[in-house]
Structure 1
Amino acid sequence: MAKEVHSPTRWAASPSDCPLVLRKLLRRQDIRAGCRCMVKAPLVSDVELERFLSAPRDPSQVLVFGIVSSQSPGRTAQLQWVLDTLYNHKQQGRASPCIQCRHDPYRLLRYDLHGPLQKSPALLVKRFAVVQDMILMFAGGRLLFGGRVLNGYGFSKQNLLKQIFRARQDCKMGYFLPDNYKFSVSAIIPSLEDSEPAKKAAAGDLEGSVSSLALGDRVDEEMASPVDVK
């Protein structure tokens, strides 16, 4: 009986790795330019969202979506800055980031609620009732986390990386939010512009309601983890 060979390129490159390439493919446009997502985290639109989420990839890779709004960019300026800063650090020197990041533990992405290609309402609004300034985390097409308060505290690069690590641990344990989960956050979660005390005061209620961490807090506060936090 022949021995099964596990190829290290199991998650080979495909057009679905890059949201822009996938979008052009679905719209029957020229894709020869390939991936050019070298400056900002790729923007995912409703045209390719479902196909992108369900595309074959490492099932432990966490897809981190920053929910922004082109109608009120000032309200999501901090979120954009954090995503761009981390993205530029991780993708430095990569000619085709969406292809070369397929073995990374996580990917950073943007989702514009009011982009020109969005449905009305936008798919993530219809599916999960998301609002701008939120972070969503998926793995294997399933939702792991959603909220504005990261790691139980405020919004920062450090807390985002820690929340990604926690989401990866939840993924390994099989802890996901229900497929029909709806967020109810517009009134109870402080925005990125609110004060730090307000964020901390809300954190206790938020972790139980918007994160799969409610199923068990198995956080190793040491950052010696698979997540790249350099």
Structure 2
Amino acid sequence: MRSHTRRAASPSDCPLVLRKLICKEDIRAGCKCIVKPPLVSDVELERFLSVPRDPSQVLVFGIVSSHIPTSSGQLQWLLNTLYCHRQQGRGSPCIQCQHDPYRLLRYDLNSPLQKDPPLLVKKYAVMQGMVLMFAGGKLLFGGCVLNGYGFSKQNLLKQISQARQDCKMGYFMPENYKFSSVLPSFLGLDEAESDKRTILEDIQGSISSLTVGDKMEDYFPEPEKK
């Protein structure tokens, strides 16, 4: 059985603290990401993805837009709800979650800290409303239709479970993979549900969709409250 060496918690485990370190700002306040998933900016994105951590831990990025908040409102609500549930009782969530099976994060395309274009747009052609999943700095999943159905807590957890299984099997997406670069009309409020589904499936990407059937159902244990 493979064992992982436990490493000491690092300020770099928190994207906000890491950003302050890079910008040579005071980090004594530490991690205080208690209410919402921490916001990752282009200032620290690459270093944050490369921070040594449990190689099976999945980093779940919700791609949001502060300029068009309604375009990712459902996603933000889902991430915030699940995050608050999992982090309850933790004073420094980013430090205390290093052994969790997954972490929830946000990436704002319109943050003033982003490059032009934002790094994830340049590399993967992402758009608001998408979810990306990484492990060990490599992309496992990207899309707007979780678990093949849509946005819900159950579908998100199933998709994370599938991503963890893909990671264990070594199924990562190609380094040069790009999603659709055309902003779809599903962001509007007057699209028929069937039309939205078709468009969303067009920008879905996952190695598991090509290699592994949808047969996993996993329930994650409650996080440790240290």
Asked if TM exceeds 0.5, the reply is yes
Following the alignment from structure 2 to structure 1, what is the Cα–Cα distance between the partners of residues 77 and 116? Answer: 27
Name which of 198, 202, 211 aligns with 1:216.
Answer: 211
**Residue equivalent to 1:49:** 45
Following the alignment from structure 2 to structure 1, what is the Cα–Cα distance between the partners of residues 120 and 157? Answer: 23
Amino acid in the other structure paired with 2:194: P
Following the alignment from structure 1 to structure 2, what is the Cα–Cα distance between the partners of residues 204 and 28? Answer: 43
Following the alignment from structure 1 to structure 2, what is the Cα–Cα distance between the partners of residues 131 and 214? Answer: 20
Number of corresponding residues? 220
Amino acid in the other structure paired with 2:209: A
Q: 1:183 to 1:25 in 2, by over 3 A?
A: same
Q: Percent identity at matched positions?
A: 66
Give the unaligned 5+ runs of structure 1. 1-5
- Segment drifting more, 186-195 vs 118-127: 186-195
Give the TM-score normalised by structure 1. Answer: 0.87
**Residue equivalent to 2:150:** 154
Amino acid in the other structure paired with 1:93: G
Following the alignment from structure 1 to structure 2, what is the Cα–Cα distance between the partners of residues 52 and 118? Answer: 15
1:159 positional shift: 1.0
Listed as ranges, the matches of 1:78-93 within 5 Å are: 78-93=74-89
Name which of 17, 20, 31 aligns with 1:21.
Answer: 17
Amino acid in the other structure paired with 2:217: E
Name which of 45, 50, 64 aligns with 2:60.
Answer: 64
- Segment drifting more, 113-122 vs 194-203: 194-203
1:190 positional shift: 3.9
**Residue equivalent to 2:194:** 197
Q: What secondary structure sits across from 1:163 in the alignment? A: helix
Q: 1:149 to 1:7 in 2, by over 3 A?
A: closer
Amino acid in the other structure paired with 1:76: S
Q: What secondary structure sits across from 1:182 in the alignment? A: coil
Q: What secondary structure sits across from 1:151 in the alignment? A: helix
Q: 1:192 to 1:165 in 2, by over 3 A?
A: farther
Name which of 79, 92, 98 aligns with 2:94.
Answer: 98
Q: What secondary structure sits across from 1:143 in the alignment? A: strand
Name which of 104, 109, 113 aligns with 1:113.
Answer: 109
Name which of 129, 134, 139 aligns with 2:135.
Answer: 139
Following the alignment from structure 1 to structure 2, what is the Cα–Cα distance between the partners of residues 120 and 200? Answer: 30
Contact 2:180–2:202 (CA under 8 A) maintained in structure 1: no
1:154 positional shift: 1.5
C-alpha RMSD of matched pairs (Å) = 2.3
Following the alignment from structure 2 to structure 1, what is the Cα–Cα distance between the partners of residues 185 and 217? Answer: 27
